[in-house]
Amino acid sequence: MCDQTFVAITFGPCDRCEKNFPLMSIYIQGEAATYCSFCVDTMACEGLTKGETLVTLKNESDSLKKKLEEERNKLHDIELHKVAEKVEVLGALPIKTRRVLKGHSNKVLCMDWCKDKRRLVSSSQDGKVIVWDAFTLNKEHGVTMPCTWVMACAYAPSGCAIACGGLDNKCCVFPLSLDKNENLAAKKKNVAMHTNYLSACSFTNSDMQILTSSGDGTCALWDVESSQLLQSFHGHTADVLSLHLAPSETGNTFVSGGCDKKCNVWDMRSGQNVQSFETHDSDVNCVRYYPSGDAFASASDDATCRLYDLRADREVAIYQKDSIIFGATSVDFSQSGRLLFAGYNDYTVNAWDVLKGTRVSILFGHENRISSLKVSPDGTAFCSASWDNTLRIWA
Amino acid sequence: MAEGSKDQGTVVMGTATSPTTPTPTTITITDPEEDSPNMIVYRKIEDIVMRIQDEKAGGVAIRTVKSFLSKIPSVVSVHVCVFVRSSVQVGSCVLGADIVQWLMKNLSIEDSAEAIHLGSLVAAQGYFFPISDHVLTLKDDGTLYRFQSPYFWPSNCWEPENTDYAIYLCKRTMQNKARLELADYEAENLARLQRAFARKWEFIFMQAEAQVKIDRKKDKAERKILDSQERAFWDVHRPVPGCVNTTEMDIRKCRRERNPHRVKKSVYGTPDDSQSPSPVHIPSSQPARKATREDVQKEISFLNIQLDRHCMKVSKVADSLMCYTEQFMEYDPFVAPMEPSNPWLTDDTSFWDLEAGSRDPSQQRVKKWGFSMEECLKDPAGRDQFLKFLESEFSSENLQFWLAVQELKRRPLQEVASRAQEIWQEFLAEGAPSSINLDSHSYERTSQNIKDPGRYSFEDAQEHIYKLMKSDSYARFLRSNVYQDLLLARKKQQPSDTEQGRRTSLEKFTRSVGKSLTGKRLTGLMQSS
C-alpha cells in the first residue's frame, strides 16, 4: 500500500549477474548496459574502474582476435598452389560410374563403407537402412526405422554392426548376423540421445564407442554397451552437421563442422575444443581429414571447399570456380591426398587437385543433389549418395 | 555468330511499360535471413540472370518473336530466325545458344556440356523457360527462352497452395486457346483436385472466372507473356511427373528459412481457410543466445591458448603435404595403376584376395611399412612382422604393451577398469612378467592413474613407449634381414633338414603366442633351440 510511483522499466537478464530482474539502463565507460538494481549498487560501490563488464571482456576478446590474426599472417609466407607449381600436372582421370545401387524409394541421405572395401550401408528419407555388397549389387540386410529422414548411418569397424539415426534424435546400433531370417529391428539398441536431429555418427576404431553430432549444437561420445555418455563436446553455436575422426593410430582428436560456419577440432579425452577455423561464408556441410591427419577439408553452402592445415593453424587452399554456384555437400580425399572429390547440390561431383587448387574433372550422372560422398577404405573407388534415390560407385 | 545476326535484323528491347521486364536496378532487401543457404544460391542465380539480360553490360542479344503461335524453328543456325518489326510486341526472348555462349564466356566454362548443365539448373529453378514447350532445361540451339518475372522468383519463398493451383488449372480450361490446353498430367491433377475440393469447388470456379475476366482486359501481348510466366511458375512448383522438384528443401536447413513455418502465401491473393500445415519437421527454434560473460571469458582463454601455440609456416606445411602426397601416390588407385587390376573396373577381385593374405605381402606393401612406424602398425601384416622381429630379439614387451593399451581403449566401459589392472600387472607392476622400462615421471603418473583405472590411464606411458620404439626398435627392424628380405623379395631358404624345420615351426609357434597379448614370454623355450 505505498503511494510511490514507479518508472516503467524493462524486465530481463541482467548484463552482470544474468539473473532476471527489472533492469535499469546505465552507462559504463561510455558503453550502454542494462543492470539490475542490486548490481548497480554493487558496481557503484566497487568503483567503475574495477570489475569486468561484458563490454570490456568483448573488447579484450576482439583485440586478442586481431593479435592472433596478425601473428598467423606472419607465417603466411606463400600459397600452397604456388609451392605446388613444381608438382607434375595430373592427366585426365578416366572416372566413370561403375555401379548404380537402386533400391531406395526416396532420397538417399547418407552412406558409409565397410572395412572390407566392398560393402556399404545407406540410409534414406524413406526410413530404410540398407546394407549392400556394392560389388555384386546384392542387398544383404535391410531395416525400416520408425522415423523417416534417417540422416546418418555408419558401419562398425568389425563389419558386424551398423548405426543410424536422424529426426528421431537418437542413434541406434543394429548387430548384423548371417541369419537369412534375421529381424534386425528386434535387436536394435538405442545408444545416443540428443535434443535435436542426429546429423552424423561414426564408430571410433572399435565397435564399442560411437561419436555423434547433432542439430542441438553438440557432439558426443557414447559407450555402445551401456549407452552411457562418455564425453560431450560444446562449442558450436549452431547445428553441427558433420564430423570425422583423425586417422592417426595414436591420436584422440576429431573435427566437426556446423551451421555456425566453423570447423572445430576436439580432444576426445578432455572434451576441449583445441582449434577452430572460421573462413566459410555459410554452413559447413562436411569435414574430412587429409590422410596424414595434418590437415582437413571442408565443404560448404558457399559453393567452396577449403583445406585447413592444423600445424599452420589456417586455411591453406580454397577450391572454387565461377561456374560452381550451388553448395558443396560432401568431400573426401583419395588415398594419397592428391585428389579431393566433392559432391554438390548441382547434381555433380568435382574432382580437385588438392595441391594445385585446380579442378581436374567434373562428373555427371546423378539426377538430383548429392547428399553424401565417401572414398572406399582402400581408395579403389568412391561412392556418392543422392536425392535421386540411388547410390553410384565411381572408379 | 550472334553479333552478325544482330546487324541484319532489328532488335527491339523490352519497353519500360512492360511490367515483366526486370529492371537492372538492384532489389534491396533488408532481411536477416539473407544468408540462409537457399538464398545464397538464388542471389547468385539472380545476379547471373540480370547480367544476361543487361545488353549494355555484355548481356545477350534480345530477340522479338513474330507470333507466339507460329512454330519457332529450333534450328541451330541463327540466320534462320526472322526478326520482324511489329507493333505487337510479344515479348523479349533470348536464344538458348546465346545463353550457353554467355555462360561459357562470363563464368569461365570450357566445356559446353557444363554450361548447358548449369543453364538447365537455372531454368529448373524457374528463372527462365523456353517459350514453345515447358521442359525446364537449356538447349544449345535456336530455342527461344523468356525470363521469369521477379514476382515469381523462388527467392520470394513461395509455397503455393493447392487451391491456387486448382484456380490456375480451372482458369486454363475456361479460355478457348490451343496454347492453354491442359497436358495429360495437368488434367489428372485437375480431376484429383476437383475430388479433394468438392465442397469448395464453386468458390474456386468463381475465382477462376474472375481471373479470366481481369485477364481479358489486359493487352494481348502482355497477357501472353504473363501466361507463359505463370505457367513456368507452376512448372516449378507442380513439376511435370519425372522432373526434379527443385523446391524441395534440406530439412536440416528448414528452420532458418525466411518463412520457417511455411505459412502459405496465396499466389492470387485468395484467403485460404484450410491452413493445413505442410508435412515438414519444424524443430524447436533456438533463438540465438546472447553471449554471456562466461562465453566471452571462455573465448578469451581459448584465444590465449591459440596465441601460445607454436605454428608452422605455410611454406613448410606445403612442402610436408607435397611430400606425403608424392610418397603415397603410387598407392592411390585414382592416380596410379593397380596390380593386377582395380576390381571395380574389371570385376576381378584378385587385388583384394592378394591383400587379404598376410603371407608374402607384395614389395610395394612392404615398402609402405618403411615410411613410418605408424604405417607399419596400421597394416596387420606389418604389425605381425614387426612383432615377430622383436620377439626374436626378446624385446617385444614394448610393442605388446602398446597394442594392449590400444585394445583397452576399444573395450566397453564396464570392462575397462579390470583390463587396465591386468595390463598394470603384466607390464608395470613390481615383478611384472613382461616388464617395460618407463621413465620415472611417466611411471609416477601411471601409478597414480591406476588407482582409478580408466581408458586413458596409460596415455603417458603409451606415448613414451611409442617414441622409444620409433627411435630404437623400429629403426633396427627396417635394417633387419627379415624386413630387407621381404622388401627385396629375396626368397627364403626352404627348410630342408630337421634342424631348420624345428626352428621354423618354433618361429610359427612364438608368432601365434605373440598374437595372444597376455601370453607370457617363453624365455625358456626360446633358449632351448
pLDDT for B380 beyond 80: yes
Q: Which residues contact A61 (CB under 8 A, 6 or more apart)?
A: B296, B299, B300, B303
- Report the share of chain A in percent with pLDDT over 90: 80
Average pLDDT score over residue span A274-284? 96
Helix (H, G, I), strand (E, B) or coil at A205: coil
Q: Where are the alpha helices (DSSP H) in B395-518?
A: 397-408, 413-423, 440-449, 459-471, 473-479, 481-487, 498-515
Cβ distance A334 to B320 less than 8 Å, yes or no, reads no
pLDDT band at B511; cut points 50, 70, 90: low
Nearest to B144 by CA among B51, B80, B85, B226: B80
| Residue to test with chain B: of A325, A363, A387, most B Cβ within 10 A | A325
Compare CB distances from A57 to B108, B293, B355 and report the shortest one's residue. Answer: B293
Q: What is the DSSP string of A315-330?
A: EEEEE--TT--SPEEE
Q: Does A132 touch chain B (CB under 8 A)?
A: no
Nearest to A350 by CA among A117, A339, B478: A339
Cβ distance B253 to A355 less than 8 Å, yes or no, reads no
pLDDT tens per residue across span B11-61: 233 333 333 433 333 344 444 456 677 889 999 999 999 999 886 667 777
B chain contacts of residue A224, beta-carbon cutoff 8 Å = 412
Q: Rounded to whole angstroms, how far apart are CA atoms B469 and B387?
A: 11
Q: Does A321 touch chain B (CB under 8 A)?
A: yes
For A131, other C-beta atoms within 10 Å of its C-beta total 22
Q: Give the side-chain half-sphere CA count within 13 A for A6.
A: 7
| Selected residue with higher pLDDT from B17 and B356 | B356
Q: Where is average pLDDT lowest: A118-132, A276-290, B84-98?
A: B84-98
Q: Does A353 touch chain B (CB under 8 A)?
A: no
Q: Rounded to whole angstroms, how far apart are CA atoms A260 and A300?
A: 11
Cβ distance B333 to A79 less than 8 Å, yes or no, reads no
Q: Residue A186: phi, psi to the nearest 5?
A: -70, -30
Q: Nearest residue of B to residue A57 by CA position?
A: B296
pLDDT for B103 beyond 90: yes
pLDDT tens per residue across span A203-231: 998 999 999 999 999 999 999 999 999 99
pLDDT for B84 beyond 80: no
Q: Nearest residue of B to residue A216 by CA position?
A: B286
For A50, other C-beta atoms within 10 Å of its C-beta total 7
Give residue A160's pLDDT.
Answer: 94
* β A390-394/B63-64 pair status: unpaired
Per-residue b or e along B312-323, where b marks 16 or more CB atoms closer than 10 Å to that residue's CB? bebbbbbebbbe
Q: Let me know: does A302 contact B41? Beta carbons within 8 Å.
A: no
Q: Rounded to whole angstroms, how far apart are CA atoms A354 and A336?
A: 10
Tell me the CA distances in angstroms from B317 to A245, A256, A380, B227, one per residue in order. 21, 22, 27, 59
pLDDT tens per residue across span A239-277: 999 999 999 887 799 999 999 999 999 999 999 999 999
Q: Let me know: does A300 contact B40? Beta carbons within 8 Å.
A: no
A chain contacts of residue B317, beta-carbon cutoff 8 Å = 80, 294-295, 309, 311-312, 316
Q: Let me know: does B52 contact B102? Beta carbons within 8 Å.
A: yes
Q: What share of chain A is helix, strand, coil (3-state, %, to 5)?
A: 10, 45, 45
Compare CB distances from A241 to B252, B256, B318 and report the shortest one's residue. Answer: B252
Q: Residue B131: phi, psi to the nearest 5?
A: -80, -20
Give residue B132's pLDDT.
Answer: 85
Average pLDDT score over residue span B383-409? 93
**ipTM attached to this prediction:** 0.86
For A230, other C-beta atoms within 10 Å of its C-beta total 17
pLDDT for A179 beyond 80: no
Nearest to A391 by CA among A116, A123, A95, A94: A123
pLDDT for A127 beyond 90: yes
Q: Rounded to whole angstroms, how far apart are CA atoms A392 and A373?
A: 10
Nearest to B1 by CA among B123, B122, B100: B100
pLDDT tens per residue across span B131-151: 888 789 999 999 999 999 999
Compare CB distances from A72 to B37, B118, B311 and report the shortest one's residue. Answer: B311
Tell me whether the omega of the peptide bond preceding residue B380 falls within 30 degrees of 0, making it cis.
no
Q: Rounded to whole angstroms, how far apart are CA atoms A51 and A115?
A: 57
Q: Where are the alpha helices (DSSP H) in chain A?
A: 37-46, 54-74, 80-83
pLDDT band at B378; cut points 50, 70, 90: very high
A chain contacts of residue B315, beta-carbon cutoff 8 Å = 77-78, 83
Q: Let me know: does A186 contact A146? Beta carbons within 8 Å.
A: no
In Å, how far is B91's CA from the nearest CA of chain A? 29
Average pLDDT, chain B: 79
Compare CB distances from A83 to B40, B108, B322 and report the shortest one's residue. Answer: B322
Q: Does A69 touch chain B (CB under 8 A)?
A: no
Nearest to B129 by CA among B51, B229, B226: B229
pLDDT band at B496; cut points 50, 70, 90: very low
Average pLDDT score over residue span A178-195? 85
Nearest to A275 by CA among A235, A329, A331, A222: A235
pLDDT band at A56; cut points 50, 70, 90: confident
Compare CB distances from B335 to A292, A339, A367 and report the shortest one's residue. Answer: A339
**Which value, to the nearest 10 degrees, does the dihedral of the CA atoms of residues B297, B303, B307, B311 take?**
150
Q: Nearest residue of B to residue A205 by CA position?
A: B410
Find residue B154's DSSP bridge partners. Answer: none
Compare CB distances from B333 to A290, A354, A379 and report the shortest one's residue. Answer: A379
Q: Let me know: does B404 contact B421? Beta carbons within 8 Å.
A: no
- Report the share of chain B in percent with pLDDT over 90: 53
Between the two ends of chain B, the Cα-to-Cα distance in Å is 89
Q: Let me know: does B185 contact B134? Beta carbons within 8 Å.
A: no
Cell of B180: 492453354
Which of A 239-268 lie inside 8 A of B, CB atoms? 239, 241, 248-250, 259
Residue B291 DSSP label? P
Q: Residue A201: phi, psi to the nearest 5?
A: -145, 150
Q: Rounded to whole angstroms, how far apart are CA atoms B209 and B168?
A: 10
B chain contacts of residue A348, beta-carbon cutoff 8 Å = 117
Cβ distance B41 to A326 less than 8 Å, yes or no, reads yes
In Å, how far is B218's CA from the nearest CA of chain A? 38
pLDDT band at B356; cut points 50, 70, 90: confident
pLDDT band at A8; cut points 50, 70, 90: low
Per-residue b or e along A59-77, where b marks 16 or more CB atoms closer than 10 Å to that residue's CB? ebbeebeeebeeebeebee
Compare CB distances from B334 to A93, A295, A345 and report the shortest one's residue. Answer: A93
Cβ distance B331 to A322 less than 8 Å, yes or no, reads no
Cβ distance B343 to A135 less than 8 Å, yes or no, reads yes
Q: Let me know: does A239 contact A217? Beta carbons within 8 Å.
A: yes
| CA B197 and chain centroid, separation | 41
Q: Nearest residue of B to residue A86 by CA position?
A: B322
Q: Rounded to whole angstroms, how far apart are CA atoms B184 and B194?
A: 15
Cβ distance B335 to A338 less than 8 Å, yes or no, reads yes
Average pLDDT score over residue span B510-520? 50
Q: Which residues contact B416 (CB under 8 A, 6 or more apart)?
A: B408, B453, B454, B455
Q: Let me know: does B159 contact B264? Beta carbons within 8 Å.
A: yes
Give residue B489's pLDDT.
Answer: 83
Of A12-16, B11-15, B325-329, the range with the highest mean pLDDT is: B325-329
- Confidence (pTM): 0.83
- The identity of residue B284, as a single letter, is S
Q: Where are the alpha helices (DSSP H) in B107-258?
A: 112-125, 162-174, 184-196, 201-217, 220-237
Cell of B212: 479470366
pLDDT for B170 beyond 90: yes
